[in-house]
Amino acid sequence: GLPNRQYFWQTLEHKIRRQDPLYLLYLDVQHFKRINELYGHSAGDHILIQAAKRIKDFTAEQDFVARIGADEFAIIRLCNNSNDEKYNKQSCEKFADALLNAFIQPLYTNKQQGCTLAINIGIAHYPNHALQAESLVKNADIALGEARLPENPSRKFFSSALQKNVEEKLELETQLRKAITDGNFDIYLQPILDLNTESVVKAEALLRWQVRDEVFVSPDVFIPLAERTGLIVPLGKWVIRQVCELLADFRKSNLNIKLSINLSPKQVTDRYLFDFISSTVKQLGVDAKKLELELTESVLLEDYDKATHLLSEFRKMGVTIAIDDFGTGYSSLSYLKHLPIDHLKIDRSFVVDLDKDEDDKAIVLSIIAMAKQLHLSVIAEGVENKRQRDFLKQNDCASAQGFFYSKPMPVNEFSTFIDAYKTA
């Protein structure tokens, strides 16, 4: 029973022509597709009608509500008190919060199955945020995109800072695409030491992206971006290829060192991952036993059976598997004993205060004890000082990496480091 998209545009343009100050609220239902999949389309329609009613019940006589997409609604809310901007904004804030709250209560399908809709709201003001209907809608949509980011339903007002943020993200994405096409990255290596012998046995390959002289973009920024945009798959292939080439070089110069690669969840669900790695290994004559893959717990939890199968295939080849950031994944420990894995990497957050914090000591000791029972070996990340190293060594932690030994470094420096380390 709501006006459609076309009527919405006409109304918005009309109000803007009359220069009526207003707030445009863009509202969408997250994962609505899942409701159609779970309950069927007619139940989905039923839910949408009730959602529309709920929104309509909440709005005032002079507010205009429309359905502008499958699961998207728009509300045009005239500012009652055009002289008091602060009052108008607060009133709009209150309204949006109340609307979010109204959706905490479940809606029911025609068969009385309850489901809770997660809605998000993006808000833009005319004339403060845009003077034309089209740019006002675009800005409300930008705000909506930002409102979708937190886990819980939320509302967000457009701002020029948001605009800048979106432009920067787009710019970075364009640069990232180009860098991937040009192979414009470097692999840095961080040594991993056997604590028993204090010798370098392995190194972790870490991506570096230098955009200008001395200016690097942190992997903590570009890896999530690459994941969101799917660019992680081609980027990950580049890393795999580079690391295998390095392993081939190591083999030629009789350097007996393993290399480990970080894999993102998106890469692991890429059905060509296994073929790509196994063919690269073969093509370059790499000893698969020298390759290790690091995965986080979240990867395994998404599709346990598929992940287990994939990891078993890798291990049949001789590739070893490490669980990265171990201890941060909130996962059930019982899954560990069935998983085809070799190492647990204790997350840096437990190591950082290891020399002072009794709780961290207890956690690290428990992980080491548990790993022993499960025949897994433990690698500690982020070891920065001698006290941390000594504690780990005294308590039978097998290996360690961190700034205490070395920061990640370019490949040529790595060879020099190894030589110097051996001599020392």
Rounded to whole angstroms, the Cα distance separating 276 from 278 reads 6
Query: Please, what is the minimum distance in Å from the beta carbon of residue 350 to ligand C2E?
Result: 12
Main-chain dihedrals φ then ψ at residue 31, nearest 5 degrees:
55, 35
Q: Residue 292 binds which entry of Ca ion, ligand C2E, none, with Cβ cut-offs from 5 to 8 Å by kind? A: none
Nearer to ligand C2E, 15 or 237 (CB): 237
Nearer to ligand C2E, 122 or 382 (CB): 382
Q: At what angle do helices 273-283 and 232-252 cross, to 10 degrees?
A: 20
**Residue 214 token pair:** 């001395």
The residues near 334 (Cβ < 8 Å, ≥ 6 apart) are none
Q: Is 18 helix (H, G, I), strand (E, B) or coil?
A: coil
Query: Please, what is the minimum distance in Å from the beta carbon of residue 42 to ligand C2E?
Result: 42
Rounded to whole angstroms, the Cα distance separating 390 from 355 reads 9
Main-chain dihedrals φ then ψ at residue 234, nearest 5 degrees:
-65, -35
Query: Please, what is the minimum distance in Å from the beta carbon of residue 185 to ligand C2E?
Result: 9
The residues near 98 (Cβ < 8 Å, ≥ 6 apart) are 58
Nearer to ligand C2E, 223 or 378 (CB): 223
**Residue 142 token pair:** 């930008």
Main-chain dihedrals φ then ψ at residue 6, nearest 5 degrees:
-65, -45
Nearer to ligand C2E, 129 or 290 (CB): 290
Query: Please, what is the minimum distance in Å from the beta carbon of residue 91 to Ca ion?
Result: 47
Residue type, 56: K
Q: Residue 239 binds which entry of Ca ion, ligand C2E, none, with Cβ cut-offs from 5 to 8 Å by kind? A: ligand C2E
Query: Please, what is the minimum distance in Å from the beta carbon of residue 295 to ligand C2E?
Result: 9
E-strand ranges in 93-233 read 107-108, 114-115, 118-126, 155-157, 186-194, 199-212, 215-217
The contact set with ligand C2E (CB under 6 A) reads 190, 206-207, 218-220, 223, 236, 239, 262-264, 324-325, 348, 381-384, 401-403, 408
Query: Please, what is the minimum distance in Å from the beta carbon of residue 225 to Ca ion?
Result: 18
Rounded to whole angstroms, the Cα distance separating 208 from 4 reads 49
Nearer to Ca ion, 270 or 325 (CB): 325
Query: Please, what is the minimum distance in Å from the beta carbon of residue 420 to ligand C2E?
Result: 19
Q: Residue 223 binds which entry of Ca ion, ligand C2E, none, with Cβ cut-offs from 5 to 8 Å by kind? A: ligand C2E
Q: Residue 399 binds which entry of ligand C2E, Ca ion, none, with Cβ cut-offs from 5 to 8 Å by kind? A: none
Q: Residue 151 binds which entry of Ca ion, ligand C2E, none, with Cβ cut-offs from 5 to 8 Å by kind? A: none
Q: Residue 122 binds which entry of ligand C2E, Ca ion, none, with Cβ cut-offs from 5 to 8 Å by kind? A: none
The contact set with Ca ion (CB under 5 A) reads 262, 294, 324-325, 381
